[in-house]
Amino acid sequence: MKYKTTECKDYIRMLGHKGFCEILFFLEKNDRVILSDLLKIAGNGTIMDRREELLELGLICDRRIKEGRRNYIVYELSPKGEKLLKELKNIVKILESKGNKE
């Protein structure tokens, strides 16, 4: 299959990378996710790589918050990330359905 853009090709390729989809699903289910939360999903190197890829692709966004004397970077899904996650859920639903031979 030929892709119209390199960005599209990157999305498809990265879907199979360890931690990529897991981070998207985790962000959907949890509020105020910080880096230490993400590190519970996979190892440090993997999470750092996926976080950068997701930020570059515009699927997640980060924002700085200050609580008292502490500064945090909170990660959340971007609108584009929410759309992709919705479609990923549909794909999972299709693949997990039994007996549907459409």
* Between residues 79 and 17, the one the model is more confident about: 79
Contact 24, 81 (CB under 8 A): yes
39: in domain: yes
Q: Please check the confidence at residue 100 and state whether its pLDDT lies above 60.
A: no
The model's pLDDT over 18-73, given as tens digits with 9 standing for 90+, comes to 889 999 999 999 988 999 999 998 888 889 999 999 999 899 999 999 888 999 99
The beta strand positions in 10-55, using DSSP E, are none
Residue 12 banded pLDDT, cuts 50, 70, 90: confident
Residue 55, phi then psi, degrees to nearest 5: -65, -45
CATH number of the domain enclosing 32: 1.10.10.10
pLDDT in tens, 87-98: 999 988 988 887
Note whether residue 100 is domain-resident. Answer: no
Q: Identify whether 101 is part of a domain.
A: no
- pLDDT for 2 beyond 80: no
Residue 26 lies in a domain: yes
For the entire predicted model, the pTM comes to: 0.82
Per-residue pLDDT, 86 = 94
- The tally of domains found in the chain comes to 1
Does residue 17 sit within a domain? yes
